Amino acid sequence: MNRQIVTLNAGSSSIKFAVFDEDVRPPTLIASGLAQSVGGARHILVRDRAAVALHEEQWVPSEASAFHADALRRVLAWRTGAFPDARVAVVGHRVVHGGAHFDRPVVVNDDVLAELAALEPLAPLHQSHNIAGIFAARAAWPDVPQVACFDTAFHRGHPFVHDVFALPRSFYRDGVRCYGFHGLSYEYVMGRLRAIAPREAAGRVVVAHLGNGASMCAILNGASVACTMGFSSLDGLPMGTRCGRLDPGVILYLLLEKKLGVAELSEMLWTESGLKGLSGISNDMRELEASDQPQAREAIDYFVSRVRYELGGLAAALDGLDAIVFCGGVGENSWSIRDRVLEGMDWIGIKVDRTANRAGAERISSAGSGVRVFVIRTDEEAIIAQRAVELLALQVFLTAR
């Protein structure tokens, strides 16, 4: 009977999942899928590693049906039906926030779950759904280890100047600090960069994870130095529905002068701002790029300007730059956003091969560019599976000693 790794990546309105062969090193993808809620319908699509559809279903929920619980039940039922003779060896979960304590993957127990639940206010769009995925997997496979892999762990070694806010120091001791996010994506991308460009991977790299959630990270010899996201995943770049960088005085003004309640303000910052709020049209970059409305163009202009601004700052944090990597839905698929971000960047040593960029090549910098530019498709599920099985093997080794 073969053994499998299951990965769950539960977001605000979607669940990514994958099944890997545990008997192969590194773990080999068998199938992956996406469950999402779009409009009034819910949909699951599963594909094999060759992108051939294996399973698809769509349903209209009842009023009492919660998306995540419903979708997780269907996802787990599909896996059991598709692989009745395969045993689940371990389940790996993406958990957005690990706080100051969790700096590496961990086997989940009740104490860990309590600590993760306490972090929900720092990642309200994701943390509760990550935890719900853990509970669902525990119920389905009560004797199978559940491993939490954290988006924040990659950034836990930041220098003090990139880890702190200029507030009374007691707040820093209490955990008010720059955590950074998208760490699983950065970890995977750097592994891929080491395979295709080892010299650059060992140097000064800025990775731009641009999607509905967006951040950028300065990486030196494989280690995170600074990230545009700080205390929460609201910070830094404007995103699909999140505001990004914001003067704290604006928060005070909206609370005190505009009399917004805390719940109303929170809802606005997390779900009504960013590209959606600025354009008044959509949080989807594809829709904005296709639109002829001036508000759509202005929202894109703002997004591009903020990416360019942060690129300059992160290059300064690294004392120079050897490579840039684009990843994430926008970073991987929008040649025009990449083109605009890198336009006129000769001063920092970047020269773009526009033909390669339009074609979506893996390397889009020209032969004479002092800074090499890459497009790498990120794979958070692969790094979750790898880290989960490594931790499981370590535990077996330590138990056998």
**Is residue 339 assigned to a domain?**
yes
**CB count in 10 Å sphere of residue 372:** 23
What is the CATH classification number for the domain harbouring 251? 3.30.420.40
**Is residue 397 assigned to a domain?**
no
pLDDT in tens, 289-341: 999 999 999 999 999 999 999 999 999 999 999 999 999 999 999 999 999 99
Instruction: Give the catalytic positions in this structure.
Output: 151
pTM of the model: 0.94
**Is residue 169 assigned to a domain?**
no
d(CA 189, CA 209): 10
**Is residue 160 assigned to a domain?**
no
> Are 140 and 212 contained in the same domain?
no
Question: CA-CA distances (angstroms) from residue 156 to 40, 181, 225, 313?
Answer: 40, 10, 9, 20
Q: Please say whether the beta carbons of 290 and 282 come within 8 A.
A: no
**Is residue 370 assigned to a domain?**
yes
> Are 210 and 336 contained in the same domain?
yes
> Are 145 and 237 contained in the same domain?
no
> Are 205 and 344 contained in the same domain?
yes
State the pLDDT at residue 65. Answer: 64
**CB-neighbour burial class of residue 172 (10 A; exposed 0-12, middle 13-18, buried 19+):** middle
Q: How confident is the model at residue 395 (pLDDT cuts 50, 70, 90)?
A: confident
Last residue of a domain, one of 118, 150, 182: 150
Strands (E), 80-214: 87-95, 106-107, 146-150, 204-209
Tell me whether the omega of the peptide bond preceding residue 26 falls within 30 degrees of 0, making it cis.
yes
Structural domain tally of the chain? 2
Nearest-5° Cα angle at 353, 350 to 358: 125
**Is residue 122 assigned to a domain?**
yes
Q: How confident is the model at residue 89 (pLDDT cuts 50, 70, 90)?
A: very high
pLDDT in tens, 90-119: 999 999 999 999 999 999 999 999 999 999
> Are 114 and 216 contained in the same domain?
no
pLDDT in tens, 227-239: 999 999 999 999 9
- Closest by CA position to 11, among listed 171, 224, 173, 241: 241
**Is residue 332 assigned to a domain?**
yes
Q: What are phi and psi of 217, to 5 degrees?
A: -135, 135
In this structure, what token pair is assigned to residue 163? 């880890």
> Are 144 and 210 contained in the same domain?
no
> Are 142 and 221 contained in the same domain?
no
> Are 242 and 106 contained in the same domain?
no
> Are 206 and 331 contained in the same domain?
yes
> Are 350 and 211 contained in the same domain?
yes
State the pLDDT at residue 253. Answer: 98
Domain that includes residue 113, residue range: 3-150
DSSP 363: B
Last residue of a domain, one of 119, 150, 181: 150
**Is residue 47 assigned to a domain?**
yes
Answer yes or no: is pLDDT of 397 > 50. no
pLDDT in tens, 349-375: 999 999 999 999 999 999 999 999 999
> Are 122 and 249 contained in the same domain?
no
**What sign does the dihedral 150-103-225-92 (CA atoms) show?**
negative
State the pLDDT at residue 400. Answer: 58
> Are 336 and 248 contained in the same domain?
yes
